[in-house]
Amino acid sequence: MKKLSTVLLLLLVIQVLFLAPAFGTERIQLVTYENVAAKYGVSVKSSVARRYRINLWQRPAPNRGTIVAKLKPGTVMALIDTIQHNGETYYLVETLDGEHRGWVNETQTD
């Protein structure tokens, strides 16, 4: 019994450490597979929709820098910051596990 409670406590600590950056922050969802399929006029199950990825950029436009990550549609992200540039909104987002952090345009979100 003591061994089980130790393991459960360890799992709880690991979850808190990995999810700590995302606690207390607003969430934002990247564009979904359904919206990608509708945009290209294909089925949600098509290879076009399934291969689609959203670029996470080093900086907001116009000089975006390099691609930090390529994420699947529907990914839920922690919203860190929002800026306006030339009438467009850009979001600084981070994956809930804290592995990737970068900028997306409002058109890449739902």
Task: Give tens-digit pLDDT for 17-64.
Answer: 455 555 557 999 999 999 999 999 999 899 888 999 999 999 987 788
Q: What is the pLDDT of residue 25?
A: 74
Spans of all domains in the chain: 2-108
Structure tokens at 52: 């689609």
| Cβ contact 49:56 at 8 Å | no
Are the CB atoms for 58 and 71 separated by under 8 Å? Answer: no
The secondary structure element, H or E, covering residue 10 is: helix 2-19
Q: What is the pLDDT at residue 10?
A: 60
Q: Is the pLDDT of residue 7 over 80?
A: no
What local confidence, expressed as pLDDT, does residue 1 receive?
60
Q: Please, what CATH class does the domain formed by 2-108 belong to? A: mainly beta
Query: What is the rounded average pLDDT for all residues in the chain?
Result: 84
